[in-house]
Amino acid sequence: MFLAPFLIALVATAAVHAAAAWWEARTRRDTQVTTDPASDHRLDKIGRAARLGALGVTFVLLLGAFAAQAPGAVFAIAVLIFAFLRGTLAQLDRIAALANREARLASALKGPAFNSAQMALFFSATELAKPDHVYTWQNELDQVGEPWYCITVEPQHFRALKDEGRIQAILLPNLGVGPYLLPAALKVLYFVNNAQKNRMVLRALPRLTHVQLLHGDSDKPPSYSPLTKNFDLVFVAGQMAIDRYARNGVHIPADRFRIVGRPQVAAIETRDSDATRSAPRTVIYMPTWRGFFEDTQFSSLDRADAVIKAVMALPEKVHLIFKPHPLSYKDPEWPAFKARIKAALGVKSAAGSTGEISEGAAAPFDLYNQADLLICDISSVMIDFLYSNKPLLTVLPNAFKEADRANTPSLVASYEVARDLENLEAQLAASLGEDPLAAQRRNVRAQAFGDLDLAPGAAFREACLALLADDAAVP
């Protein structure tokens, strides 16, 4: 009769210990500050001894109680005391791990992986689940040939980078203190968006050269945000971007711009307009997301089903790939849109056209390479795709007014689709047929990409290296 309580107590003790150990492992994971595992929080000798000691004493006590045929309450009390003790130790461990994050980070930043790097990329985007903007520049920064690392402030981004393991990254647990920990060797800090937290870093580290790269180039307001004025330098793809700031009243001195092209477009294959096209031709439809604000609402997502139906109704056989913007998944109406899109893709095509939704990891540039025609909204997709020399259709936003045309010079390179889609069929036919805008598109392309005379990425690399030179002149 004494065996049952003894066994139950043994199992319960082991379970409590396992649960606490799991919680402590989770603490270690939650309080990581760099991609270097050496900087993780660890139990010291006293902590390990206390845990082992508590477990050992409890087992001995249970054995003693079993041998002495103690009442069941003794087993229960022993397990409860152990559970309380073990829980308290785990709680202390978590508090300590959270509290010593800065100290661990400071120590890790003294290591060679970080201490020698002169460049870093700061990334904050509370609305993004993954650090997509970092990936946009990852290869390009790698190709500069200098060590760099990513500074994150949102745990989900740090976690993604750590899990992926391709980029050295740190997590600043406290943006107030964190910037002061960065090594003195750091000279240049790149930014890929206009996140509000950027300014805390700008303010804390005036000694650095702060460079805004942005993560795309388009005629949308983010590409001429007044926040960009905060930076020492603004790297832009071409003269079109510089003009865009001036045209929208965002006055940035000319000497703060560097034309570096869009190094990412190296992955985009170009095609002459008269090149032979294989059948069935591929149409990519990439609507942008519905922005936070009225003035950033450029999406045709609400009309996507109609666009898709028009493509599927084309007289020639095509394959349509619908690629939603990553932020569209967070749109509360996305499930409804998706249902309508799926239904439109499922419509039987007379020409035998097919369609699919690309929700996977397919990179936009891979899709550009597959495309014979792109349908998009006013967004950075337009300009990136422009590099390919292939035709594109742009669906005008619902709120588009004729006066807005002056602010969207890239539109002249694309076949405009009216808000009500009434000319969609005609524009599809023109773009897939004679392509009368081919010459105009080439002109706009030269405006958009200022480094067409160089190999893709060369201008960017040179600009980055110039900032690391001892005699670098920064306005």
Q: Which is nearer to other proteins, 49 or 343 (CB)?
A: 49
- Judged by CB under 8 A, the number of residues near other proteins is 44
Compute how many other C-beta atoms are within 10 angstroms of the C-beta atom of residue 1. 6
Taking the C-alpha atoms of residue 383 and residue 379, their distance in angstroms, rounded to an integer, is: 8
- Least CB distance to other proteins at residue 53 (A): 7
- Least CB distance to other proteins at residue 76 (A): 11
Per CB under 8 A, does 76 bind other proteins? Answer: no
Taking the C-alpha atoms of residue 109 and residue 103, their distance in angstroms, rounded to an integer, is: 10
Query: Which DSSP string do the residues of 57-106 spell out, in sequence order?
Result: HHHHHHHHHHHTT--HHHHHHHHHHHHHHHHHHHHHHHHHHHHTHHHHHH
Q: At 199, which amino acid appears?
A: R
Taking the C-alpha atoms of residue 408 and residue 26, their distance in angstroms, rounded to an integer, is: 49
Q: Which is nearer to other proteins, 406 or 466 (CB)?
A: 466
Q: Which is nearer to other proteins, 165 or 176 (CB)?
A: 176
The answer to whether the CB of 144 falls within 8 A of the CB of 165 is: no
Q: Which is nearer to other proteins, 439 or 469 (CB)?
A: 469
Per CB under 8 A, does 421 bind other proteins? Answer: no
Taking the C-alpha atoms of residue 140 and residue 263, their distance in angstroms, rounded to an integer, is: 6
**Which residues are CB-neighbours of 112 under 8 A, at least 6 positions away?**
none
Q: Is the dihedral of CA 44, 47, 51, 52 positive or negative?
A: positive
Burial bucket for residue 334 (CB in 10 Å: 0-12, 13-18, 19+): middle
Per CB under 8 A, does 452 bind other proteins? Answer: no
Per CB under 8 A, does 474 bind other proteins? Answer: yes
Per CB under 8 A, does 103 bind other proteins? Answer: yes
Q: Which is nearer to other proteins, 32 or 264 (CB)?
A: 32
Q: Which is nearer to other proteins, 54 or 170 (CB)?
A: 54
Compute how many other C-beta atoms are within 10 angstroms of the C-beta atom of residue 376. 25
For the CA atoms of 72, 78, 82, 88, what is the dihedral angle to 10 degrees? 100
Answer for which of 93, 140, 154, 377 binds other proteins (CB under 8 A) is 93
Per CB under 8 A, does 91 bind other proteins? Answer: yes
Per CB under 8 A, does 206 bind other proteins? Answer: yes
Answer for which of 40, 146, 164, 232 binds other proteins (CB under 8 A) is 232
Per CB under 8 A, does 466 bind other proteins? Answer: no
Q: Which of 387, 393, 366 is nearest to 287 (CA)?
A: 393
Q: Which is nearer to other proteins, 44 or 402 (CB)?
A: 44
- Least CB distance to other proteins at residue 400 (A): 42
296 phi and psi angles, rounded to 5 deg: -115, 20
Answer for which of 9, 16, 20, 78 binds other proteins (CB under 8 A) is 78
Helices (H), ranges, 224-319: 239-247, 304-312
Answer for which of 44, 163, 274, 294 binds other proteins (CB under 8 A) is 44
Taking the C-alpha atoms of residue 256 and residue 475, their distance in angstroms, rounded to an integer, is: 6
- Least CB distance to other proteins at residue 251 (A): 21
Per CB under 8 A, does 111 bind other proteins? Answer: no
The 149-178 contact track toward other proteins, x by CB under 8 A, reads: ---------------------------xx-
Per CB under 8 A, does 129 bind other proteins? Answer: no
Per CB under 8 A, does 207 bind other proteins? Answer: yes
Per CB under 8 A, does 181 bind other proteins? Answer: yes
Q: Which is nearer to other proteins, 20 or 428 (CB)?
A: 20
Q: Which of 367, 370, 347 is nearest to 358 (CA)?
A: 367
Q: How far is CA 298 from the centre of its chain?
A: 20
Compute how many other C-beta atoms are within 10 angstroms of the C-beta atom of residue 412. 13
Taking the C-alpha atoms of residue 473 and residue 475, their distance in angstroms, rounded to an integer, is: 7
Per CB under 8 A, does 274 bind other proteins? Answer: no
- Indicate the SS3 state at residue 209: strand
Per CB under 8 A, does 24 bind other proteins? Answer: no
What is the contact surface with other proteins in residues (CB under 8 A)? 44, 46-47, 50, 53-54, 57, 61, 65, 68, 70-71, 74, 77-78, 81, 84-85, 88-89, 91-93, 95-96, 99-100, 102-104, 106, 176-177, 180-181, 187, 203-204, 206-207, 209, 232, 472, 474
